[in-house]
Structure 1
Amino acid sequence: MKHSLLRRTLLVAASSVVLMGAILPAAHAQNKMVLRVSTPAVPDDWHAKMWTVFKDELEKSLPGEFDVQINLNASLFKQGTEPAAMARGNLELSSISAFDIAKLVPEFSIFTAGYVIRDPEHQQKVFNGPIGAEMFKSVAEKMDVTPLSTIYLGTRQVNLREVRSVKTPADLKGVKLRMPGSKEWLFLGDALGATPTPLAFGEVYLGLKTGTIDGQDNPLPTVRAAKFYEVTKQIVMTSHLVDGIFIAISNKAWNSMNATQKQKMTAAAQAASSYNNENRIKEESQLVEFFRQQGLQVTTPDVDAFRKSVQATYLNSDYAKVWPKGLLERVNQTK
């Protein structure tokens, strides 16, 4: 009887230990702050892989404090809907474009204009300095999201069916240049000196092949991926738009963090940015030689002439009316 009672007591004690062992990790997991990430990026893209860098960096610096859940391929929220989801508190993290921001923060439209950002290095200096701090403060106030770092997406170049001498915007006169269909993109095509022609991306290859359009503009990785080099003969390195997106966090999540968490979160976002930017810049530099091997001429125009002409066109338009006074000059002067 005594042995039986002792055995039951030991079994109960052992069960309690097992149960507590199961409860403690569960409780620990429940204490982690969940950070849902939504991005339209496909797995092989650098700005998809950067989220793994972000997650790993955060886990290294603050082990066990966050549960970062990465959702690629727009599987959680459709592209363009992420800012509203973050403002509502339904999403913690995403990468948002300057075009997305400009819808709610009109002055941010300066970064959707041609020849405002010169190159990836200039992009980082602008957004990591006083200008970025001011603009991001407006974003946080008007959109309920806080930008943490700037991601380089690529520099757009002009890609032509036939070889022509292009030094200034005047040399693109009469060129039917395919642009995305929005008025902002068509304005950029016009500012470049071309005849902007709206055409869906999926129709560009055939349009180049048949002569419906004379050219198109995209970053070099897109030219390779879409095989536009098969139906064109020249790439003009106009570098007219240095494209970027911004890792941003909802204010609801941001404001719930302590100072250390915010500092580590920003550092993780900067590490993700550096990873993406270094790899994307390296890829772009290698592609110039790839296109030459494919038989394309790669030429460089008078970029300063393009910049002066395009900036003047924007400054004389309605777009510039919402830009803060002196901001363009400050961006131009950032070295």
Structure 2
Amino acid sequence: MTFPLNRRSALCMGASLAAATALPSWAQAPANLRFAAVFSDKDIRADMMKMLAKDVEKDFKIEVFLNSTLFRQGTELVALQRDNLEMGNIAPQDISKQIPAWSLLTSAYLFRDANHLNAFFASDMGAQMKKMVEDQLKVKVLGPVFFGTRHVGLKTKKKINTPADLAGVKLRMPPGDSWQLLGRSIGANPTPMAYAETYTGLQTGAIDGQDNPLPNVQNMKFNEVMSQIVLTSHLVGYDLLTLNMKVWNSMSPEKQRAFQAAADKAIAWSTAEHLKREKELAEGFKNQGLDVYTPNLAAFRENAQKVYLASAEAKEWPAGMLDKINGMK
């Protein structure tokens, strides 16, 4: 059956076709963003990503790939740079491989706590360091994601009070020069090993210990193959929530503001949850039979400072920034 086509119906049809081929932005399909991270689905940060995905779902569909299933640990940054990945959880140590000045932000005992960390990244100094990443690596830094303060966990029952007590101890550290320097700065023999292999490494004796925040210890069940946790507090652990710069630049200013606000909200929630979990876990691990104690922190700080200031990395640090960070309240 056919219908006569008069001028009025032709105009209506033309308008309909125009609407179909030029849909408003709110009617377009959400852009797909793949997010890659080393952490597991039991991690608080996995829930952080669910929160972020929910808040931006009108414009973006975030696909989350955890446990290094999409890219192996340490390769996520290059994937972002090569436009093979849209979002990533990036360790500052990976950034320091390409921007040596960033090694300052990976040094032991630099930040006192999560508040100090966040205050730095909200400051002009933080903006300067983020701009380096955006200009040189073409990656957008949405913010630092605190995941707990790193402590030493050991299989051996040897009591640790000073860095000298860690001499010869094979301490698992992630691969990379910044991580190895961190291990040496607290007196240990750093042993590069992937995060996913750490449990087996402890179990088999390939390593004597590992350093991670308490929530990570629980998530990965490292406590099952350790006898003690030495509360060295040698590094305020954080990664960076990042976005491929082409993706960021493709957003309108309005969408950029909305995406950043959603990221800030999710990160703040994650930080609060990690702080709460840390307090609970210190007592919980004691109740499970692990020896949990605080060593001579002054000795650890002094040793770390000496090692870092004598390192080649320190020569690349922005002039005066260390003192300014130390002077922040």
User: What TM bracket, shorter-length normalisation?
Assistant: 0.7 to 0.9
Q: Which residue of 2 aligns with 1:72?
A: 65
User: CA, structure 1 residues 291+95, in 2 after alignment: closer, same or farther (shift >3 Å)?
Assistant: same
Is this contact kept in 1: 2:34–2:87, CA < 8 A? yes
Q: Counterpart of 2:111 in 1: which secondary structure?
A: coil
Identity of aligned residues (%): 39
Q: Which residue of 1 aligns with 2:239?
A: 245
Q: Take 1:291 and 1:85, find their aligned partners in 2: how far apart are those partners?
A: 37
Is this contact kept in 1: 2:73–2:194, CA < 8 A? no
Q: Which residue of 2 aligns with 1:27?
A: 23
Where does 1:276-287 land on structure 2 (aligned, <5 Å)?
276-287=270-281
Q: Take 2:246 and 2:280, find their aligned partners in 1: how far apart are those partners?
A: 42
TM-score, normalising length from structure 1? Answer: 0.81
Is this contact kept in 2: 1:43–1:72, CA < 8 A? no
Please list every run of 5 or more consecutive structure 2 residues that lacks an aligned counterpart in the other structure.
none
Q: Take 2:193 and 2:40, find their aligned partners in 1: how far apart are those partners?
A: 23
Of the three residues 39, 42, 45, the one matched with 1:44 is 42
Is this contact kept in 2: 1:36–1:70, CA < 8 A? yes
Matched, 1:57 2:55: yes
C-alpha deviation, 1:191, in angstroms = 1.6
The residue identity in structure 2 corresponding to 1:290 is: G
Q: Take 2:84 and 2:229, find their aligned partners in 1: how far apart are those partners?
A: 43
Q: Take 1:164 and 1:128, find their aligned partners in 2: how far apart are those partners?
A: 41
The residue identity in structure 1 corresponding to 2:62 is: Q
Q: Take 2:125 and 2:30, find their aligned partners in 1: how far apart are those partners?
A: 31
C-alpha deviation, 1:242, in angstroms = 1.9
Deviations 1:99-132 (A, max 9, x none): 2211222111112222222222221111122221
User: CA, structure 1 residues 170+274, in 2 after alignment: closer, same or farther (shift >3 Å)?
Assistant: same
Q: Take 1:31 and 1:219, find their aligned partners in 2: how far apart are those partners?
A: 42
C-alpha deviation, 1:143, in angstroms = 0.9
Q: Counterpart of 2:152 in 1: which secondary structure?
A: strand
User: CA, structure 1 residues 147+198, in 2 after alignment: closer, same or farther (shift >3 Å)?
Assistant: closer
TM-score, normalising length from structure 2? Answer: 0.82
Q: Counterpart of 1:146 in 2: which secondary structure?
A: strand
C-alpha deviation, 1:133, in angstroms = 0.5
Please list every run of 5 or more consecutive structure 1 residues that lacks an aligned counterpart in the other structure.
none
Instruction: Give the paired residue count.
Output: 322
C-alpha deviation, 1:179, in angstroms = 3.4
User: CA, structure 1 residues 137+208, in 2 after alignment: closer, same or farther (shift >3 Å)?
Assistant: closer
Q: Counterpart of 1:308 in 2: which secondary structure?
A: helix
Matched, 1:136 2:134: no
Deviations 1:259-282 (A, max 9, x none): 333222211110121122222222
C-alpha deviation, 1:158, in angstroms = 1.0
Q: Counterpart of 2:23 in 1: which secondary structure?
A: helix
